[in-house]
Amino acid sequence: MGTFCSVIKFENLQELKRLCHWGPIIALGVIAICSTMAMIDSVLWYWPLHTTGGSVNFIMLINWTVMILYNYFNAMFVGPGFVPLGWKPEISQDTMYLQYCKVCQAYKAPRSHHCRKCNRCVMKMDHHCPWINNCCGYQNHASFTLFLLLAPLGCIHAAFIFVMTMYTQLYHRLSFGWNTVKIDMSAARRDPLPIVPFGLAAFATTLFALGLALGTTIAVGMLFIQMKIILRNKTSIESWIEEKAKDRIQYYQLDEVFVFPYDMGSRWRNFKQVFTWSGVPEGDGLEWPVREGCHQYSLTIEQLKQKADKRVRSVRYKVIEDYSGACCPLNKGIKTFFTSPCTEEPRIQLQKGEFILATRGLRYWLYGDKILDDSFIEGVSRIRGWFPRKCVEKCPCDAETDQAPEGEKKNR
């Protein structure tokens, strides 16, 4: 009883609030519908349990469900790991390389960023995912990625069951006329008759579950890009920092090359930092191994440079294509459609000729502020959100009227 009480603490019970959100409600609903219908269809109408194949199939369906839910709840409740409140580096002089978070009253450790949703500084933050109502970061990156792998595989298995159930049950019920195809739902498929006949309600429910399974396979499968992030040991936020670093070097014509410090030069070594046999990622989330020739604070130093430089803090873009603000726009290309950011943050409508200040971005999407007047003055009213990268181009004024003096370029 004492062990049980030590596990269930007040803080852990507070985490259950994460379930009271549209993301987990929808995700768990889809998992419940697909897994339940796959088991019912399999046992009653497609592959009965008294056969060897049916028993193996049923065990596999249960196995998919258990593994998916295990990794899903791990990603949600274990969380990404937060920088301790009031944290500061052991060597006091290292604070000059770090940013200070006023909300957490602590310095931001390398690779950590403050999440407005969680209201904490998150270790190795990649993004805040609405489907788990939590951030994806240091501690739950492996569980989150395994969930993204297992969910499509389980849905593919379930979709196969749904298709085969409808095929076997409707094969002898179809009648073809000159211009019509009819389904006789009163005819039986199996002999002896199943306990529950495959009627219209069962057909409609199976068809609905098939749609959910196929949709989940596509939607969740697209998010498996997380594996690419793990193999490069570079989060989506860090990819944007690297892009702005290269832009800063090019703009000021500096004789330097930015090297991302946390890529160990081997995909296997990067992979082992996240996936371990113990299930606990390497390190403590506050200090990180760096490649040869790099500094522990190389990335944070670059962030400080960008923060001090107003020009690269946010990159100016001019809108060249209209955008309606749709979540997954079909008319902006297949890659833009399938890589839509999985976030609660809004999209913003764009009209040709408007200007945007982009503060971060992905390969095919950018996030920033649309300035409602024609000036780029700090403090003017703005609309903030995501928009497709192909709808904008870097503002030509950066190259024509905003060039830094030669002396300034050399100094920087």
CA 128, 228, 323, 316 dihedral sign is positive
The Cα–Cα gap between 152 and 163 comes to 16
Angle at 15 between CA 11 and CA 16, to 5 degrees: 125
- Enzyme catalytic residues: 129
Under 8 Å between Cβ of 94 and 109: no
Least confident of 83-87, 180-184, 233-237, 292-296: 180-184
Query: CA 357, CA 313: separation in Å to the nearest integer?
Result: 9
Is it the case that residue 400 has pLDDT exceeding 70? Answer: no
What residues contact residue 163 under an 8 Å CB cut-off, 6+ apart? 210
CA distance 204 to 210: 10
Q: What is the pLDDT of residue 171?
A: 72
pLDDT-based confidence at residue 73 (cuts at 50, 70, 90): very high
Residue bearing tokens 């971060």: 360
Mean pLDDT of the chain: 83
Tell me the average pLDDT across 284-298: 89
Q: Which CATH number among 2.60.120.310, 3.40.50.2020, 2.30.30.40, 3.40.1280.10 corresponds to the domain 314-374+382-394?
A: 2.30.30.40
Parallel, antiparallel or unpaired: strands 355-361 and 315-319: antiparallel
pLDDT in tens, 4-51: 343 444 455 667 888 988 999 999 999 999 999 999 999 888 888 888
Beta pairing class for 120-122 and 113-115: antiparallel
> For position 410, what pLDDT does the model report?
42
CB 280 within 8 A of CB 272: no
The model's pTM is 0.81
Neighbour count for residue 283 (Cβ, 10 Å)? 13
Query: How is the chain split into domains, by residue range?
Result: 13-79+139-175+196-232, 92-135, 236-309, 314-374+382-394
The one-letter amino acid at 295:
H
Q: How many CB atoms lie within 10 A of CB 214?
A: 16
Most confident of the ranges 60-74, 281-295, 343-357: 60-74
CB-based contacts of 310, cutoff 8 Å, min separation 6: none
